[in-house]
Amino acid sequence: GENVEQHPSTLSVQEGDSAVIKCTYSDSASNYFPWYKQELGKRPQLIIDIRSNVGEKKDQRIAVTLNKTAKHFSLHITETQPEDSAVYFCAASKRDEKLTFGTGTRLTIIP
Amino acid sequence: SAVISQKPSRDICQRGTSLTIQCQVDSQVTMMFWYRQQPGQSLTLIATANQGSEATYESGFVIDKFPISRPNLTFSTLTVSNMSPEDSSIYLCSGGQGANEQYFGPGTRLTVT
């Protein structure tokens, strides 16, 4: 089955700087890669996703890149703000199948 | 997107009892899932709730312990049976319109004493 590794497990970034979280996956048939943000005590929220026919996708300060050959994808957050502090999870799946989640990255934005 | 609600939001239960968690989606969704999340941990998939048929369970989870129902495309229940303190966790349901987009409910925080 699919295996998703996520790094780093914790990340501290000065406010205004950029943050990058990386994930690798094992199943070359996976074609959907979402990112979730989970604030303390809240539900995971889908913040951005990418499909395997696209190399990069942006939404304001958030971007995701995908390298199918290397089987890795990354979340980029620019101009970080205190409200970006949360745990971020990557995931991977084949079409219409279950998601396999990474272990999570705790991002702390230092004011 | 889909808006998902869960009931109850939290409960404290005695060892040996059972609790049923309800998950309601505001629109029909093709896929629904049940997860467990320990504090500070990632999401562990319990099972896929299949509409009109038996749920598909992940390794380590069995129907006798976690029976699941999904009578239609907007509703599912998860029962945690014969509870022990090890079942204390947050239980989340998710749903989506297919092609993998999944939205989560707010979770049910279960404490077993």
Q: Do B92 and A44 touch (CB under 8 A)?
A: yes
Amino acid letter, A3:
N
Alpha carbons B72 and A54: distance in angstroms, whole number: 34
Most A CBs within 10 Å, among B34, B59, B102, to test the A interface: B102
For the segment B74-82, the average pLDDT, to the nearest whole number, is: 97
B101 touches chain A (CB under 8 A): yes
Q: Exposed (0-12), middle (13-18) or buried (19+): which is B73, by Cβ within 10 Å?
A: middle
| Average predicted confidence (pLDDT) for chain A | 96
B45 contacts in chain A (CB < 8 Å): 98-99
B39 touches chain A (CB under 8 A): no
For the segment A61-78, the average pLDDT, to the nearest whole number, is: 97
Residues A10-31 have pLDDT tens digits of: 999 999 999 999 999 999 999 9
DSSP summary character for residue A93: B
CA distance A99 to chain B (A): 8
Q: Give B97's strand partners.
A: none
For the segment A71-98, the average pLDDT, to the nearest whole number, is: 95
Label residue B98 by pLDDT band (50, 70, 90).
low
Please give the structure tokens belonging to residue B83.
């509870």
Alpha carbons A43 and A83: distance in angstroms, whole number: 15
Label residue A54 by pLDDT band (50, 70, 90).
confident
Q: Would you state the pLDDT for residue B53? A: 86
Most B CBs within 10 Å, among A47, A50, A98, A101, to test the B interface: A98
Backbone angles phi, psi at A30, to 5 degrees: -65, 140
Nearest CA among A23, A45, A43, A37 for reference residue A92: A23
Q: How far is CA B31 from the centre of its chain?
A: 13
Q: Would you state the pLDDT for residue B101? A: 84
Name the residue in chain B with its Cα closest to that of A49: B101
Q: Are A104 and A6 in contact (CB under 8 A)?
A: yes
Q: What share of chain A is helix, strand, coil (3-state, %, to 5)?
A: 5, 55, 40
CA distances from A92 to A6, A50, A86 (A): 11, 10, 20
Residues B22-73 have pLDDT tens digits of: 999 999 998 899 999 998 899 999 999 988 889 999 999 999 999 999 999 9
